[in-house]
């Protein structure tokens, strides 16, 4: 199975990964594409087939998205299995940091969450197998390489995963506008799993019940809620502030 990644920053981030499995590249053939010479050279140095194509072909490959003149095809990494996920959690022990997304449906929101998760030293991301955004090209572009670096579990039953995490000693903290405790009064240190709900709906009742605690981000203006990727970034970096990775 292959997946398409496009955009200068996304392709550059992919090339920074030594184990990235790049099958072929499609690059704009026009003179204006000279700015892509560095990326083309790096691709060719890896032995990747580089095809020069017109803008119409790149538009077709990306469904009309903003591709910046370059599209690469990669061999998608295998989905993290449940056993592998549990082994990862156990191996990380008391240092494990996880992000759980309960039904985020916008691929760009998913990609933005992955990008911040990578920056905040999250060990793995858990999303439901159904009724949630998949790793589409748009999600991967927004993630700028994080989708290829982060282990991701597509859970068949999210609540069971949360219950297993609690039994394994991981503190499961949800975030919702109706959370009982303000975020900045909560303790967010590993082993930790941060759980956020989908756009507009927040945490599902069963997901909320599976959390150890539910916190709320303080809102001081007139808006009632934040975009899920923004809320996720605030939570993850509050956890980083309280317990910086590597210390």
| 141-157 pLDDT per residue, tens | 788 777 777 889 999 99
Contact between residue 217 and residue 185 where contact means Cβ atoms under 8 Å apart = no
Length of the chain: 247
Task: Give the chain's domains with CATH numbers.
Answer: 2-75 (3.30.1330.30), 82-242 (3.40.1280.10)
Q: Is the dihedral of CA 20, 25, 28, 33 positive or negative?
A: positive
What pLDDT score does 247 carry? 58
What average pLDDT score do residues 123-131 get? 92
Q: How does 113-150 read in b/e, with b if 16+ C-beta sit within 10 Å?
A: bbbbbbebbbbbbbbbeeebbebbbbbbbbbbbbbbbb
109-118 pLDDT, tens digit each? 999 999 999 9
Q: Is the pLDDT reported for residue 78 higher than 60?
A: no
Distance CA 64, CA 119 (A): 29
Cβ burial of 200 (10 Å; 0-12, 13-18, 19+) is exposed
At residue 184, does pLDDT exceed 90? yes
The model's confidence at residue 19, banded by pLDDT at 50, 70 and 90, is low
Tokens encoding 226: 């934040």
Does residue 33 register a pLDDT over 80? no
Lowest-confidence region among 14-18, 120-124, 203-207, 218-222: 14-18
- pTM of the predicted protein model: 0.77
């Amino acid at each position: 199975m292959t997946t398409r990644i496009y955009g200068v920053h996304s392709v550059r981030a992919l090339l920074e990964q030594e184990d990235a499995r790049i099958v072929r590249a499609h690059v704009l053939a026009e003179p204006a594409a000279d700015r892509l010479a560095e990326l083309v050279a790096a691709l060719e140095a890896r032995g990747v087939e580089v095809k020069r194509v017109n803008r119409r072909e790149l538009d077709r490959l990306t469904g009309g998205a903003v591709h910046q003149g370059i599209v690469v095809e990669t061999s998608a990494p295998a989905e993290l299995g449940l056993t592998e996920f549990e082994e990862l959690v156990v191996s990380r022990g008391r240092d494990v940091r996880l992000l759980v997304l309960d039904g985020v449906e916008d691929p760009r929101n998913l990609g933005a969450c992955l990008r911040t998760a990578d920056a905040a030293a999250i060990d793995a991301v858990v999303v439901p197998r159904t009724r949630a955004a998949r790793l589409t090209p748009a999600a991967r572009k927004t993630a700028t390489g994080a989708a290829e670096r982060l282990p991701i579990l597509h859970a068949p039953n999210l609540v069971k995963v949360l219950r297993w995490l609690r039994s394994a000693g991981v503190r499961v903290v949800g975030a919702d506008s109706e959370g009982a405790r303000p975020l900045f009064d909560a303790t967010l240190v590993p082993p930790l799993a941060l759980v956020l709900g989908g756009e507009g709906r927040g945490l599902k009742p069963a997901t909320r019940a599976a959390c150890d605690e539910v916190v709320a981000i303080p809102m001081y203006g007139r808006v009632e809620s934040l975009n899920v990727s923004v809320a996720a970034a605030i939570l993850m970096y509050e956890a980083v502030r309280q317990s910086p990775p590597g210390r």
